[in-house]
Chain A
Amino acid sequence: MTTHPIIRFSNATFSYNGHEALKDITLDIFEGEFVGVIGPNGSGKTTLLKGLLGLIHPTSGSLQIFDCACEELRCHHRARIGYLPQKERTDPNYPITVWEAAMMGRYGAMGLFKRPQKQDHEIVMESLEAVGMADLKDQAFGQLSGGEQQRVLIARALSQRPDILLLDEPTTGIDAATQRRLRDLICKLHQQFHLTIVFVTHDINLISGIVETLVVLKTRLHAKGPPEEVLTKAVLEPVYGDEVIIAKRDQKPYIIVRDTHNHA
Chain B
Amino acid sequence: MLELLSYGFIQRALAASLLIGLVCALIGIFTVLKGVTFIGAGTAHAAFAGVTLAFLIGVSPFLMAVLFGLSTVWVTTFVQEKGKMKPDVPIGVFYTFTMALAILFIGLMKGYRPEVYGYLFGSILSVTSLDLKVIAALSIGILIVLVLFFKEFHFISFDQEMAEASGIPAKRLSFLLLNLISLAVVIALKAVGAMLVFALLVIPAAAAQQWATNMRTMIIYSALIGVGSSWAGVFLSYWLDIPSGATIVLLAATVFLFSVLFSGKRQKARPV
Using a CB–CB cutoff of 8 Å, the interface residues on chain A facing chain B are 17, 53, 55, 75-83, 85, 90, 92-97, 100-101, 104-105, 107-110, 112-113, 115, 139-140, 143-144, 156-157, 160
Contacts and interface: CB of A to CB of B under 8 A. Distances in A.
Contacts of A100: 154, 214-215
A55 B164 CA distance: 8
Contacts of B110: none
Given A78-B167, A96-B214, A108-B168, A83 B265 contact: no
A76 B167 contact: yes
A156 B170 CA distance: 17
B209 interface: yes
Nearest to A115: B151
A97 B214 contact: yes
Contacts, number: 91
B6 to A, nearest CB: 40
A78 B165 contact: yes
B214 A107 contact: no
A107 B165 contact: no
Nearest to B221: A95
Nearest to A113: B148
Contacts of B161: 55, 85
B88 interface: no
A159 to B, nearest CB: 9
A110 B209 CA distance: 28
B195 interface: no
Nearest to A84: B162
Nearest to A144: B270
A30 B268 CA distance: 47
Interface string B239-259: 000000000000000000000
B167 A95 contact: no
Interface of B: 33, 84, 148-149, 151-152, 154-155, 158-159, 161-169, 208-210, 212-215, 217-218, 265-266, 268, 270
B230 to A, nearest CB: 22
B218 A83 contact: no
Given A83-B162, A85-B161, A95-B209, 16 more contacts: A75-B168, A76-B167, A80-B167, A90-B159, A93-B209, A94-B33, A95-B218, A96-B158, A104-B151, A104-B163, A107-B167, A110-B151, A112-B149, A143-B268, A143-B270, A160-B166
B168 A107 contact: yes
B265 A93 contact: yes
Contacts of A140: 213-214
From A76, A96, A110, A160, residue with most partner B Cβ within 10 Å: A96
Nearest to A114: B151
Contacts of A79: 166-167
The 5 closest A-B pairs by CB, nearest first: A108-B167, A79-B167, A140-B213, A78-B167, A95-B212
A157 B164 CA distance: 13
A81 B165 contact: yes
B213 A107 contact: no
A105 B212 CA distance: 22
A156 B265 CA distance: 25
B166 A105 contact: yes
26 contacts: A55-B161, A75-B167, A79-B167, A80-B167, A82-B166, A83-B162, A85-B159, A85-B162, A92-B266, A93-B209, A93-B265, A95-B213, A96-B214, A100-B154, A104-B151, A104-B162, A104-B166, A105-B166, A107-B152, A107-B167, A110-B151, A112-B148, A115-B151, A140-B213, A143-B270, A157-B166
A17 B84 contact: yes
